[in-house]
Structure 1
């Protein structure tokens, strides 16, 4: 009987030792190998830099002279001007004709701002907003005034003259050529309303006639 108990105790000790050994040992599983990122990047083709924009040297705004007008022959007797007109290069130089009279001519309720925007329509230029940044605070007063009846229909005339005519002598016109925006600011020096006399220029041509004797 004692012999059987000792065998059972010995077996229990052996089993407990095996369990302790299994719990103390940790199985280590190696991580999968990933390709070297630096090594793979060396096989990528370098991205070429974007070419810089080149400034065109033949600048019609820097080297314009009246003699630059060019013509070509179109047909046998026709010469065609191939140079841009002033109104095409300088948008304020284009000629406009305005007629915004309503069908009921008694219903004249447009503002100066509406008159200016109608004049600038299809010209490639836009009008500033009175609430915009760096805009003269008096521009809001100008824009809110009623458009005079004489400014409902006029032209043809140069665009810059038409805009200055609508704004009146109390304002100077400004142009942002980058945004193509027209605006106004209060004129610092008052305009001398005294009309200046026109200078009359006359030319005399002398023709000498020689008679054959």
Structure 2
């Protein structure tokens, strides 16, 4: 009697291992901006089996939709003796974005030496890393069509984004 119950339990376990789980579908979240204007029912979100025990969504992640939201963790090589512009280029590598062309106003920001505290950034969102590198006097402007980032100097009086005359650095003896 004992061997037959063991055999029965073994067959039950083997049968459970070979069963197939169909793809799971869930309705899309209407609050996430996936509303249909035609009044049609929402498309299902597909989850597929990935490996033995894992179900994964086939929807793109937030970082894939908004490239500036991707999380980065970078160290700027000190051997570069980097400027702010060098650090921004390094941070933007493989992000899909580039820096806008330099002009006279941006030269004030881009030619500054990189502060030591900025040699290590992350983990944080790419947008936040660029804002940290630029500092509080600059507003980040993103061109999502051309995938370029630029900065506009904030005025000193009210913090609004408008060109301001840069302060001259102190003359060093």
Name 1:30's counterpart in structure 2: none
Partners in 2 of 1:157 and 1:64 — Cα distance? 27
Q: 1:110 to 1:74 in 2, by over 3 A?
A: closer
Question: TM-score, normalised to structure 2's length?
Answer: 0.61
Name 2:116's counterpart in structure 1: 149
Q: 1:185 to 1:143 in 2, by over 3 A?
A: same
Which of 70, 85, 97 pairs up with 2:73? 97
Per-residue CA deviations over 1:37-57 (Å, capped at 9, x if unaligned) read: xxxxxxxxxxxxxxxxxxxxx
Q: 1:98 to 1:74 in 2, by over 3 A?
A: closer
Aligned pairs (5 A) from 1:92-171: 92-102=68-78, 109-131=81-103, 137-171=104-138
Partners in 2 of 1:108 and 1:148 — Cα distance? 13
Instruction: Name the SS for the 2:113 alignment partner.
Output: coil
Two-structure CA RMSD over aligned residues (Å): 2.3
Which of 42, 57, 60 pairs up with 1:84? 60
Q: Higher Cα Rg: structure 1 or 2?
A: 1
Partners in 2 of 1:139 and 1:151 — Cα distance? 19
Per-residue deviation, 1:190: 2.5
Which of 145, 148, 170 pairs up with 1:181? 148
Question: TM-score, normalised to structure 1's length?
Answer: 0.51
Q: Which runs of 5+ in 1 are unaligned?
A: 1-61, 132-136, 192-213
Of Structure 1 and Structure 2, which has the larger fraction of its residues in strand? 2
Partners in 2 of 1:69 and 1:118 — Cα distance? 36
Q: 1:96 to 1:64 in 2, by over 3 A?
A: farther
Q: 1:109 to 1:75 in 2, by over 3 A?
A: closer
Q: Which runs of 5+ in 2 are unaligned?
A: 1-31, 36-43, 161-173
Where in structure 1 do 4 or more consecutive aligned residues deviate above 6 Å?
Answer: none
Q: 1:179 to 1:108 in 2, by over 3 A?
A: closer
Per-residue deviation, 1:71: 2.2
